[in-house]
């Protein structure tokens, strides 16, 4: 897993289910994947020890770690809660 960038949450976010990561405004969010396909508006990353998806529009990027963008094609089976 490549750490792509770090950002700051611009507002609180509470995801609809367990696939999403929740955060509060001002928290640091680390981005590992930028999703393409059906979920182009979602990125995957971590806040503290929690990992999950979140809307990319809620993040203000303040540091890029990798110039290589890791884009993962997605389909519905990628988004399943256990």
**pLDDT digits over 27-80, tens only?**
999 998 887 677 678 999 999 999 999 999 999 999 887 665 555 666 555 555
DSSP-assigned letters across all residues of 8-28: EESS-B--SSTTB--B-TT-E
Q: What's residue 33's pLDDT?
A: 83
Separation between Cα atoms, residue 55 and residue 42, nearest integer Å: 5
Q: Is pLDDT above 90 for 15?
A: yes
18 occurs within a structural domain: yes
Q: What's residue 8's pLDDT?
A: 97
Q: Residue 33: which domain range?
A: 2-68
The domain that contains 47 carries what CATH number? 2.30.30.40
62 occurs within a structural domain: yes
Q: What's residue 35's pLDDT?
A: 75
Q: Per the structure, how many domains does the chain have?
A: 1
What residues contact 7, with CB distance under 8 A and at least 6 apart?
A: 28, 29, 31, 59, 60, 61, 62, 63
Q: Which two tokens stand for residue 73?
A: 């094609």
Separation between Cα atoms, residue 6 and residue 60, nearest integer Å: 9
74 occurs within a structural domain: no
């Amino acid at each position: 897993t490549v750490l792509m960038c770090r950002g700051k949450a611009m507002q609180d976010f509470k995801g609809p289910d367990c696939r999403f990561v929740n955060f509060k405004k001002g928290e640091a969010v680390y981005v590992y994947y930028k999703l393409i396909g059906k979920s182009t508006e979602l990125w995957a990353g971590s806040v503290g020890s929690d990992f999950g998806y979140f809307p990319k529009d809620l993040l203000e990027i303040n540091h890029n770690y990798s110039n290589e963008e890791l884009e993962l094609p997605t389909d519905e089976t990628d988004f399943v809660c256990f």
